[in-house]
A and B are shown apart, each in its own frame.
Chain A
């Protein structure tokens, strides 16, 4: 399977994502923001970081970058796009995903392990995972997902909520919500479910010497679903 990771100036999880994708068997290429064409890919990843410094709204400049039109075209033609952290913010800025990511409720950057309850219904990202609660890691200042009531209703009706923050037992409650996100939302799909944006970083959890291994489950499953 071929994957591509886009590097924006200020991306800082691009290498980590490259390492993770390769570890689980993707043939990965790095793509510079100023290019206009994507290499042939089965998966495009927008990595975490602070694209263009994120001095404006997070992801807003990246959402207008040169490469992004190709990403939009790729997504609209049904290609698989994954945005992690800043990548999720960029996807909402392009309009490919609904809603916005606001500053965390406690107005502080948060770096820690969290649990998410995943939507393993019909989607290439999570279906067939035998675990429905994953322990992943978050590291962000703007991860507080918000959308209008109508948008929320359509996300729910169409089963587009990809992951909820929860406790280790899978219970979704306020205590397990790290950043104030509406309905504990940690990640969402587009309508066709070929685009996933989420705040947690699976690429930081791929080795038991690190914070944990549930990221490995995510990548292994993703690869299997793509084959």
Chain B
């Protein structure tokens, strides 16, 4: 087939991009070459709309061993231990085929982590679905949860935390973001940069099939009515083979035979071979007829573009082929020497002795398009004036019931009970806490991790929203008693060719960056997912932040459950009472306008550090950050977790009681303190200029507001835990 502009456009390239390819090559590419260009130049692989802005991110820090640009980021946690982690999206495939889409999302991120020599120790995920009333939501949720569980459970890595959100903006584009943490000795990290010429290039893992061809291009396009036709572009996961690949790779990594290693993720063999060669400033020569294939008569084009899962590409030291092959034989995995590194600086492909492609690597990597797309600033919306009369009409018990059983607040136990969260025997904080926590095997240390997004805030004002998500991640890590170290981000947005969407992206990044710098909480890895749009309707801007923190002695883990009755409960941080963009405003008052809560980074940092000090000095009995649903929901969750009640203090001449209880002002925590320690706690707060309120006192079971008993904790627990089970049954 002779290539022309029409075929190029069918490959997702723009006419001017096709022209650029012809100009660079000084000829018309053949079909295989065009396929390779389209795979490398699509949004998913080239970051062409985002690169310019991602450069601004704060990626440096004392504990950062590896920032963005590798398979995953790496941070130092002391004693030669390092944590490798990253979050990645698998949105488009998961909407088309939820089980396989989600499963291979988990598989892909696990590979990114063990490619660097780390044993995966925890999985997390953030999933967003359309309205609970939408006809597809239930099936998508069921399929995605089964897919995530099916993969993670089989491979034997605990899924320790996550986040689930429902909003109608995801009706046509769900989000599935998967995150993995791995543990590695910091002196034994493996990278993807090839070095040296005439080094054997090895293919290991599963055989190559026709699944997932053009997967990366599909993930770089918007959806229309014909999305069902795209099913064949979704990859099929095989967690068993991944488990074998994990063990085999870690076994091979225990000696010194690997020069570079890269998993075959998006754009398969194409991107993995080109990235390794490009980073090493080398050429690479591959003989495609040596690639183990699952199907007959696969063409070079198909072999290069397949996204079959559970495959790795390795550049080995000369002479290590036999010993390496033995390991892969033991694990019953394919092993083939398919080429070598060269000094040509080109990618040269052969098939049945014929040269089928020859492209200078810099054209595919460095010369990939980069756009400074036009973007529009979002104005800070006007504050809403809430009418006191309307608030007075509300009944407190009705409000509590509606809020605690709201899909975005209620317990997600139905989901996380389907994930193995205890395998590996080190999970000390399982799902349902502020962050998941696993011990560093065989040591006193533990690693905390959480994943967060706040699309409504980001939609209302992207800059504030971007800051807020980073702060939320920070707070979750503080709440379990860990010192926050670094973050990974998964940037899910609409169509970058629209200036509103591009503006949301740019300003969210600016917000993330500002908070990340101030809190010394650098971004070490991430991923961008654009074109989350169906028939002209895009999602709300949804940057997802995965945070990682360290607990030096796991015995100092802090939890959110109220411990016993008769203790004092405090709110740390100032409550301003702004209801704009709160769940209360949306659910109870049907008000969706207004600005998100303001972020004060000074208070954020100061409050968080003070909470950590209280935890360290063993003055806090339980800690929980205040987020969705404000103080009331925060306190109720602590009641539910500890099966205790609370008697709230009576409020005199304060702001309206609903504003006090349900505002989502930032930088706040609720803590439980022994009465005998209250003075000490107050002194520490005063010394650190931290604002606090006395919120109430824990009780046996009753939840008492204004001296009136409302519900018992058992009743509230029923509302909280029941909703999702009922919805899914």
Known pairs A9-B243, A53-B154, A112-B417; A139 contacts B331 (CB<8 A): no
Q: Which 5 A-B pairs have the closest CB atoms?
A: A12-B156, A53-B240, A16-B425, A139-B420, A50-B154
User: When each residue 201-230 of chain B gets 1 if its CB lies under 8 Å from chain A and 0 otherwise, what string results?
Assistant: 000000000000000000000000000000
Enumerate chain B residues within 8 angstroms of A53, measured Cβ to Cβ: 154, 238-241
Tell me, rounded to whole Å, the shortest Cβ–Cβ distance linking A144 to chain B. Answer: 15
A110 nearest in chain B by CB position: B417
Most buried by A among B153, B332, B554: B153
Is A49 within 8 A of B156, CB to CB? yes
Residue from B244, B420, B426 in contact with A109 in the complex, judged by beta carbons closer than 8 Å: B420
Enumerate chain B residues within 8 angstroms of A54, measured Cβ to Cβ: 154, 240
A206 nearest in chain B by CB position: B425
Tell me, rounded to whole Å, the shortest Cβ–Cβ distance linking A142 to chain B. Answer: 12
B155 at the interface (CB under 8 A from A): yes
Tell me, rounded to whole Å, the shortest Cβ–Cβ distance linking B701 to chain A. Answer: 18
> How many angstroms between the C-alpha atoms of A49 and B246 in the bound complex?
15
Is B430 within 8 A of A211, CB to CB? yes
User: When each residue 550-578 of chain B gets 1 if its CB lies under 8 Å from chain A and 0 otherwise, what string results?
Assistant: 00001101000000000000000000000
> How many angstroms between the C-alpha atoms of A207 and B422 in the bound complex?
12
Is B425 within 8 A of A210, CB to CB? yes
Enumerate chain A residues within 8 angstroms of B420, measured Cβ to Cβ: 109, 111, 139
A10 nearest in chain B by CB position: B240
A77 at the interface (CB under 8 A from B): no
Enumerate chain A residues within 8 angstroms of B554, measured Cβ to Cβ: 209
Is A12 within 8 A of B423, CB to CB? yes
Is A111 within 8 A of B419, CB to CB? yes
Give the A interface residue count (CB, 8 A).
32
Q: List 29 A-B contacts (CB under 8 A).
A: A9-B240, A9-B331, A9-B332, A10-B154, A10-B240, A10-B244, A12-B155, A13-B156, A13-B423, A15-B425, A16-B423, A19-B425, A49-B156, A53-B239, A53-B241, A54-B240, A108-B418, A109-B150, A109-B420, A110-B418, A111-B417, A111-B419, A111-B421, A112-B417, A204-B422, A206-B425, A207-B425, A210-B427, A211-B430
User: When each residue 181-213 of chain A gets 1 if its CB lies under 8 Å from chain B and 0 otherwise, what string results?
Assistant: 000000000000000000001011011011100
B338 at the interface (CB under 8 A from A): no
> How many angstroms between the C-alpha atoms of A50 and B243 in the bound complex?
10
> How many angstroms between the C-alpha atoms of A93 and B552 in the bound complex?
45
Tell me, rounded to whole Å, the shortest Cβ–Cβ distance linking B82 to chain A. Answer: 20
Is A209 within 8 A of B154, CB to CB? no
Chain A residues within CB distance 8 Å of chain B: 9-10, 12-13, 15-16, 19-20, 34, 48-50, 52-55, 108-112, 137, 139, 141, 201, 203-204, 206-207, 209-211
> How many angstroms between the C-alpha atoms of A34 and B465 in the bound complex?
55
Besides A50-B243, A111-B421, 8 more A-B contacts (Cβ < 8 Å) are: A49-B156, A50-B240, A54-B154, A54-B240, A109-B153, A137-B422, A209-B554, A210-B427
B333 nearest in chain A by CB position: A9
> How many angstroms between the C-alpha atoms of A49 and B150 in the bound complex?
12
> How many angstroms between the C-alpha atoms of A45 and B167 in the bound complex?
48
Is B422 within 8 A of A211, CB to CB? yes
> How many angstroms between the C-alpha atoms of A206 and B426 in the bound complex?
10
B728 nearest in chain A by CB position: A108
A207 nearest in chain B by CB position: B425
Enumerate chain B residues within 8 angstroms of A204, measured Cβ to Cβ: 422-423, 425
Tell me, rounded to whole Å, the shortest Cβ–Cβ distance linking A122 to chain B. Answer: 31
B439 at the interface (CB under 8 A from A): yes
Residue from A50, A55, A139 in contact with B422 in the complex, judged by beta carbons closer than 8 Å: A139
Is A139 within 8 A of B153, CB to CB? yes
> How many angstroms between the C-alpha atoms of A197 and B557 in the bound complex?
35
Is B423 within 8 A of A203, CB to CB? no
Enumerate chain A residues within 8 angstroms of B331, measured Cβ to Cβ: 9
In B403-422, which residues have CB < 8 Å from any A CB? 416-422
Is B425 within 8 A of A203, CB to CB? yes
B424 at the interface (CB under 8 A from A): yes
B156 nearest in chain A by CB position: A12
Most buried by A among B146, B150, B244, B420: B420
Tell me, rounded to whole Å, the shortest Cβ–Cβ distance linking A218 to chain B. Answer: 15
Enumerate chain B residues within 8 angstroms of A20, measured Cβ to Cβ: 425
Enumerate chain B residues within 8 angstroms of A209, measured Cβ to Cβ: 428, 439, 554-555, 557
Enumerate chain B residues within 8 angstroms of A15, measured Cβ to Cβ: 424-425
> How many angstroms between the C-alpha atoms of A206 and B422 in the bound complex?
12
Enumerate chain B residues within 8 angstroms of A206, measured Cβ to Cβ: 425
Is B240 within 8 A of A55, CB to CB? yes
Tell me, rounded to whole Å, the shortest Cβ–Cβ distance linking A6 to chain B. Answer: 15
User: When each residue 690-718 of chain B gets 1 if its CB lies under 8 Å from chain A and 0 otherwise, what string results?
Assistant: 00000000000000000000000000000
Enumerate chain B residues within 8 angstroms of A9, measured Cβ to Cβ: 240, 243-244, 331-332
> How many angstroms between the C-alpha atoms of A185 and B652 in the bound complex?
58
B93 at the interface (CB under 8 A from A): no
> How many angstroms between the C-alpha atoms of A206 and B554 in the bound complex?
16
Enumerate chain B residues within 8 angstroms of A141, measured Cβ to Cβ: 153
Enumerate chain B residues within 8 angstroms of A207, measured Cβ to Cβ: 425
> How many angstroms between the C-alpha atoms of A53 and B555 in the bound complex?
36
> How many angstroms between the C-alpha atoms of A52 and B425 in the bound complex?
22
User: When each residue 433-461 of chain B gets 1 if its CB lies under 8 Å from chain A and 0 otherwise, what string results?
Assistant: 00000010000000000000000000000
> How many angstroms between the C-alpha atoms of A207 and B153 in the bound complex?
22
Tell me, rounded to whole Å, the shortest Cβ–Cβ distance linking A213 to chain B. Answer: 13
B247 nearest in chain A by CB position: A9
A106 nearest in chain B by CB position: B729
Enumerate chain A residues within 8 angstroms of B557, measured Cβ to Cβ: 209
B108 at the interface (CB under 8 A from A): no
Is B423 within 8 A of A139, CB to CB? yes
B645 at the interface (CB under 8 A from A): no
> How many angstroms between the C-alpha atoms of A141 and B439 in the bound complex?
26
Enumerate chain B residues within 8 angstroms of A111, measured Cβ to Cβ: 153, 416-422
Is A109 within 8 A of B422, CB to CB? no
In B514-546, which residues have CB < 8 Å from any A CB? none
B149 at the interface (CB under 8 A from A): yes
A50 nearest in chain B by CB position: B154
B145 nearest in chain A by CB position: A108
Enumerate chain B residues within 8 angstroms of A203, measured Cβ to Cβ: 425
A9 nearest in chain B by CB position: B244
Residue from B149, B241, B330, B428 in contact with A210 in the complex, judged by beta carbons closer than 8 Å: B428
Enumerate chain A residues within 8 angstroms of B238, measured Cβ to Cβ: 53
Enumerate chain B residues within 8 angstroms of A201, measured Cβ to Cβ: 422
> How many angstroms between the C-alpha atoms of A92 and B493 in the bound complex?
50
> How many angstroms between the C-alpha atoms of A165 and B439 in the bound complex?
29
Tell me, rounded to whole Å, the shortest Cβ–Cβ distance linking B540 to chain A. Answer: 30
Is A16 within 8 A of B418, CB to CB? no
> How many angstroms between the C-alpha atoms of A38 and B50 in the bound complex?
57
